[in-house]
């Protein structure tokens, strides 16, 4: 006999769970609770009333039965029942003896739930859902998953690894978790909402690398750098939920701003620390950091808790600290400028001054060398004799030579 396919197994599991839920609610009806749909006809039956005459229906806490209800032999019909018709009912025989008590609960059919999934690491993912309809009735959820296999992959892998329950945590309502996932695989999640009137389900295809979203980094610390009035040293740690593996690293995004300003500066890094070099001396800064998969898969995490620090003389604080100092309470001597990038008057960095001086010196050296080269070229050009001067010099030399010869040689 052939074994059932994974899809058939999943359907059978869902049916079994639904039958168990239906049996539980039928047991509640036997104990005196009956469920009905708002807007539909509801019939209340009087058990044991068929053998007796003069059956009467009463509604506890009310002077009479709801308007529009009909008595059909021993049953009470509530046409197009409304929410106000819910409550305790009872039927009695002609002598007033109680035959049956019913607590009528009215509500709605389930709607298709809205489901979203997220992976805070590369080994597990969690899904959460919200009902689309407030049914006003007791509701249960059946959550399962099935791994979407490539062609021929089902033969290589055991069927038990292809499907299973998405485990629900009673401490976290409307959430479930799939453990021991494969990062490069895809899964199909089924969330079925069931209540005494029926069920609706949502299928969601999940790809791990698309839903990865780490938890925020932890342990954020910001400190001023000694002898550097415009620098802040920032450090943080990996989130505890992210396993430290060589092939699954994180990159980080740092945002910071003076508390008095609203615009953020953002820096990306792969390190666990960063030095802010353009902070404003004497102004308190707020800093946050977020994380993302190093290969750019998924989404950035939420921002971490804030940390504060003041570059130069001032107060350093971390989340939860309430200590203050006199320096932190005093107003800064210089009011911050309202320009987009205000610069304090005496906030220049000595290192920047040295760099500027060196650059000016190199520039001056090249200018001097160029001027010297031009001067040498001009001098050499002036020293070179012209053609006319050369001819004149040769003529004079020949005349002198003739004059020194004897007359006999000349004649």
Among candidate residues 229, 224, 226, 227, the one with its CA nearest the CA of residue 345: 229
32-70 per-position pLDDT tens digit: 899 999 999 999 998 765 555 678 899 988 888 888 899
| Residue percentage of the chain with pLDDT more than 70 | 71
Strand, helix or coil at 239? coil
DSSP 8-state symbol, 348: -
- Residue 333, pLDDT > 90, answer no
Distance, in Å, from the CA atom of 152 to the CA atom of 150, rounded to the nearest integer, reads 6
pLDDT at 273: 95
The per-residue b/e assignment along 71-107, b for 16 or more CB within 10 angstroms, e otherwise, is eeebbbebeebeeebbeebbbbbeeeeebbebbbbbb
Round to the nearest angstrom and report the end-to-end CA distance of the chain. 144
Q: Higher pLDDT residue, 261 or 23?
A: 261
Among candidate residues 297, 295, 269, the one with its CA nearest the CA of residue 213: 297
The pLDDT confidence band at residue 142, using thresholds 50, 70 and 90, is very high
Among candidate residues 114, 4, 98, 25, the one with its CA nearest the CA of residue 60: 98
Strand, helix or coil at 18? helix
Strand order in the sheet with 70-72: 42-44, 75-78, 70-72
Tokens of 115: 């489901």
Q: Enter the pTM of the model.
A: 0.61
Q: What stretch of H or E contains 206?
A: strand 198-207
Summary mean pLDDT of the chain:
78
User: Within 139-286, where are the H helices?
Assistant: 153-156, 208-211
Q: Are 189 and 206 in contact (CB under 8 A)?
A: yes
pLDDT at 31: 74
The pLDDT confidence band at residue 376, using thresholds 50, 70 and 90, is confident
pLDDT at 405: 53
398-411 per-position pLDDT tens digit: 444 545 555 554 44
Flag the least confident range among 100-114, 187-201, 383-397: 383-397
pLDDT at 290: 97
Domains of the chain: 6-107 (2.60.40.10), 114-151+159-211 (2.60.40.10), 218-329 (2.60.40.10)
Tokens of 120: 């805070």
- Residue 279, pLDDT > 70, answer yes
pLDDT at 95: 82
pLDDT at 3: 39
pLDDT at 30: 53
Flag the least confident range among 111-115, 180-184, 207-211: 180-184
Strand residues in 119-182 grouped as ranges (E): 125-130, 140-148, 163-165, 167-168, 175-178
pLDDT at 341: 40
pLDDT at 201: 95
Q: Higher pLDDT residue, 385 or 45?
A: 45
- Residue 74, pLDDT > 90, answer no
- Please state the rounded mean pLDDT for residues 16-35: 60
- Please state the rounded mean pLDDT for residues 348-367: 69
pLDDT at 323: 38
- Residue 180, pLDDT > 80, answer yes
37 Cβ contact list (under 8 Å, min separation 6): 81, 106, 107, 108, 109, 197
Place of tokens 């009673």: 170
- Residue 184, pLDDT > 70, answer yes
pLDDT at 195: 96
Strand residues in 231-329 grouped as ranges (E): 232-237, 250-258, 265-269, 273-276, 285-293, 307-309, 316-317
The pLDDT confidence band at residue 238, using thresholds 50, 70 and 90, is very high
Distance, in Å, from the CA atom of 168 to the CA atom of 180, rounded to the nearest integer, reads 15
pLDDT at 347: 42
The pLDDT confidence band at residue 388, using thresholds 50, 70 and 90, is low
| Residue percentage of the chain with pLDDT more than 90 | 47
The pLDDT confidence band at residue 265, using thresholds 50, 70 and 90, is very high
Distance, in Å, from the CA atom of 213 to the CA atom of 299, rounded to the nearest integer, reads 5
pLDDT at 400: 46
188-204 per-position pLDDT tens digit: 999 999 999 999 999 99
pLDDT at 364: 83
- Please state the rounded mean pLDDT for residues 267-287: 94
């Amino acid at each position: 006999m052939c074994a059932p396919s994974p899809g058939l197994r999943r359907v059978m599991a869902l049916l079994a769970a639904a039958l168990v839920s239906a049996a539980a609610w039928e047991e509640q009806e036997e104990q005196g609770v009956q469920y009905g749909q708002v807007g539909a006809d509801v019939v209340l039956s009087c058990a044991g009333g068929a053998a007796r005459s003069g059956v009467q229906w009463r509604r506890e806490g009310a002077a009479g039965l709801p308007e529009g209800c009909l008595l059909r032999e021993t049953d009470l019909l509530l046409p197009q029942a409304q929410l106000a018709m819910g409550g305790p009912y009872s039927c009695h025989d002609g002598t007033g003896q109680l035959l049956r008590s019913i607590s009528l609960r009215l509500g709605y059919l389930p709607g298709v739930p809205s489901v979203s999934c997220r992976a805070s690491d590369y080994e597990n993912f969690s899904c959460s859902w919200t009902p689309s309809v407030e049914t006003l009735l007791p509701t249960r959820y059946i959550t399962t998953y099935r791994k979407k296999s490539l062609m021929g992959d089902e033969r290589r892998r055991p069927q038990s690894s292809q499907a299973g329950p998405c485990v629900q945590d009673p401490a976290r309502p409307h959430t479930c978790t799939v453990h021991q996932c494969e990062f490069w695989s895809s899964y199909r999640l089924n969330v079925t909402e069931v209540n005494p009137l029926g069920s609706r389900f949502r299928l969601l295809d999940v790809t791990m690398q698309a839903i990865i979203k780490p938890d925020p980094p932890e342990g954020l610390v910001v400190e001023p750098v000694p002898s550097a009035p415009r620098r802040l040293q920032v450090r943080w740690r990996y989130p505890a939920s992210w396993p430290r593996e060589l092939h699954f690293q994180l990159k980080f995004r740092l945002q910071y701003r003076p508390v008095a300003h609203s615009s953020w500066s953002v820096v990306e890094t792969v390190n666990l620390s960063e030095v802010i070099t353009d902070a404003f001396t004497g102004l308190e800064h707020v800093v946050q950091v977020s994380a993302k998969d190093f290969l750019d898969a998924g989404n950035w995490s939420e921002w971490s808790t804030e940390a504060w620090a003041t570059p130069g003389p001032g107060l350093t604080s971390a989340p939860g600290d309430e200590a203050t100092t006199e320096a932190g309470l005093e107003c800064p001597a210089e009011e911050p400028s309202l320009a987009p990038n205000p610069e304090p008057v005496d906030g220049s960095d000595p290192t920047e001054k040295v760099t500027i001086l060196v650059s000016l010196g190199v520039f001056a050296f090249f200018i001097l060398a160029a001027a010297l080269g031009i001067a040498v070229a001009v001098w050499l050009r002036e020293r070179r004799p012209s053609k006319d001067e050369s001819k004149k010099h040769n003529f004079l030399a020949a005349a002198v030579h003739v004059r020194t010869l004897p007359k006999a040689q000349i004649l």
